[in-house]
Structure 1
Amino acid sequence: MKNILWMGLIVSSLGLSAQNYDFVVAKDGAGDFQTVQAAIDAVPHLRKNRTIIYVKSGVYKEKLILPTSKTNVSLIGESAAETILTFDDYASRKNMFGEEIGTSGSASFFIYGDGFEAKNLTFENSFGEGSQAVAVRVDGDRVKFENCRFLGNQDTLYPHGKDSRQYYKNCYIEGTVDFIFGWSTAFFEGCEIFSKRNGYITAASTEQETPFGFVFNNCKITGLAEAGTVFLGRPWRPYAQTVFMNCELGEVVHPEGWDPWRSEEKKKTAYYAEYANRGAGYQPDKRAQWAHILTDLEAEKYSLKNVMRDWNPDEE
């Protein structure tokens, strides 16, 4: 009788999993697939309903791609610390034709599909220092990451799509130089931004006609860098936009806050601003003269609702 009851509990548990997740990835073969890419490949093209992929703990060394035809896909990890998606490409690596793959080509994960969501996962480029090495490149629109880690050095996170809106909630992002960079509109809420050494956190390349670039709200800026050696950002392109609001800035932050990337012209067009920050790294009287300290009224413009327009990521 006990055996029958035990079997019933197993069936019940499996039934619950089947309802919660469409596919399960497990390295030991206990799921539907042993690789994350195989699960992505199995998602029907242009599906309107959400497809949920559960990834069990393990280190998955794969160079991943979510194509544009794979829409509304969710990747849910068993544990952010123990479910790791990693690869080790780097910009100067040669392809089979002897050509360098470049910064974009170095990405461990390419995300092109709209409506992608990730939760409880680590995304890593494990190459190390010495070259640009991207962990995640994001081109899709309405992309959300929650409780995820992004590990790397130079150019860790690449919000690339010019029309892409991205939301990062309670995430950890680390790197050395320009480790959050690109064209997209991205809102970071409650994230820890960790500088592993002296360098630059952001390198936005916002288009002139794009209303918002990178917005950091209620984030913590920490790191191993020496005090005063980390800039909040420098403009990769002339109209770069980056705003830090209600953030705790650690002592690693440079007193001037912002660097013009050796360009007087970029000082005239880039828009770098702060509002209601705090901590040892917040020294508004010493900030670069071409940057901005927002008033209460100006800061209202940078609400999640305003930045994301008709998409509310907190409702999904």
Structure 2
Amino acid sequence: MRCSFLSTLLLALLSLSKSSFSQVCEDQTQDSKTIVVDQSGQGQFTTVQQAIDSVPAENSIWTHILVKPGIYKEKVMIPGNKPCIVLVGNSASDTVIEWGDGGIVNQSATFTLYAENFKARNILFKNTYNEMTQRGDGSSIKPASAFQITTDKVSFYQCGFISVQDTLTDFQGRHYFDSCYIEGAVDFIWGNGQSIYKGCKINATTDILGGSPGYITAQGRDSATDNGGYIFDQCSVVGNGPIYLGRAYRQYSRVVFNKADLSNVVVPEGWDPWKYAGQEGTITYAENQCTGPGVDMSKRVEWEKTLSDEELRQLTDANIFINQDGWLQKQPF
């Protein structure tokens, strides 16, 4: 299913986001536009998609979409020709965008982003599709993304992402997650993004799998020169059932947990090579200065990497790994 997803998604990228990579947003000190979304009718629009639709094509002005508290039951998409959007809620506890679609991973996301230079703050993105599945052996669970990112220069602050399988499709581009909450059971952070997760809470809800372990990451780096990778810096891992830190979605999969707090839900082996058993030498999975009852390394897979201080710096320093051109500082508050 995922092989066909990759080819389908790449075609979608060509058609929906080819113009976005040439877009430059005006400096954040310049005049910007603000749109208010309010279900009660006190804003310009009552749905998030209506507000996005109002943004002109080839937008180059930072546009703030302020979403008032409420549960917005809608499926949202930002096309590639609408960059420079800042989506702001009140808090992830009272400002929610949710939908319930699943089964076809590249079509199920509650929120799909094709436009670069996007920022979100204080919003919860949720896919409710698997909430109605019968809890037991997990056989009825289907891919159901809460958010799908297929583009560059994207950041999230104090946001939440909730689903069961494929919660966060971190597919392509440079991304920064600060103090976010991510919940799921199977491959719930997956793709080939080049991403730093800073101070995030990772909640493994694997009780839905009936005792079988789940997987936090399925990272898809596919060559030694590929810049992709997921870096978890000072994050915490909690949950209600066993979880692997990751399994290799592609042969050069790269995931690092740095100074993370790992609860006892982390399985002793830590990592799974998946379909690359016997080819683990190209996989980069590492833990550095982690704490908590889940850090016992005595039964970890023997092919887990030990990175040098310089290798860690190259990956954990945002300015080196994802922010070489200073795009994070150019995004407005």
TM range (shorter): 0.7 to 0.9
How far does residue 266 in structure 1 lie from its aligned partner after superposition? 4.0
CA positional deviation for 1:183: 1.2
Name the counterpart of 1:284. Answer: 297
| DSSP 3-state at the match of 2:298 | helix
Check whether the contact 1:181–1:204 (CA below 8 A) recurs between aligned residues. Answer: yes
Q: CA deviation at 1:207?
A: 2.8
Q: Which structure is larger by alpha-carbon Rg, 1 or 2? A: 1
Report the alpha carbon displacement of residue 73 of structure 1 after superposing the two structures with TM. 0.2
What is the CA-CA distance between 1:54 and the residue it aligns to?
Answer: 0.1
Shift of 1:278: 1.0
| Residues 192, 222 of structure 1: 8 Å contact kept | yes
Match of 2:227 among 192, 208, 211: 211
* Structure 1 counterpart of 2:118: 116
Do residues 231 (structure 1) and 244 (structure 2) align? yes
Runs of 4+ residues deviating >6 angstroms: none
Q: Counterpart in 2 of 1:24?
A: 36
Range 108-117 or range 305-314, more displaced:
305-314
Aligned residue number for residue 273 of structure 1 = 286
Is the 1:87–1:124 Cα contact (8 Å) retained in structure 2?
Answer: yes
Matches within 5 A, 1:1-316: 22-91=34-103, 102-128=104-130, 129=133, 130-161=141-172, 164-197=173-206, 198-208=213-223, 209-225=225-241, 229-302=242-315, 303-308=317-322, 309-313=324-328, 316=331
Describe the superposition over 1:156-208 as per-residue Cα deviations: whole angstroms up to 9, x where unpaired: 000112xx101100000000010000011111000000000131000001131
- Verify the 8 A CA contact 1:142 1:311 in the aligned structure 2: no
Instruction: Give yes or no for contact 1:239–1:266 (8 Å, CA) kept in 2.
Output: no
3-state DSSP class of the match of 2:274? coil
Give the Cα separation in 2 of the matches to 1:51 and 1:262.
Answer: 44
* Partner residue in 1 for 2:10: none
Query: TM-score if structure 1 supplies the norm length?
Result: 0.86
For residues 311 and 266 of structure 1, what CA distance do their matches in structure 2 show?
36
Could you say what the CA RMSD is over the residues aligned between the two structures, in angstroms?
1.5
Shift of 1:152: 0.5
Structure 2 CA distance for partners of 1:201 and 1:126, relative to 1, 3 Å: same
Read off the aligned partner of 2:147 and give its amino acid letter: V
* TM-score in terms of structure 2 length: 0.82
Pick 1 or 2: higher relative contact order, CA cutoff 8 A, min separation 6. Answer: 2
Aligned residues: 283
Could you list the runs of 5+ residues in structure 2 that have no partner in the other structure? 1-30, 134-140, 207-212
Structure 2 CA distance for aligned equivalents of residues 265 and 111 of structure 1: 36
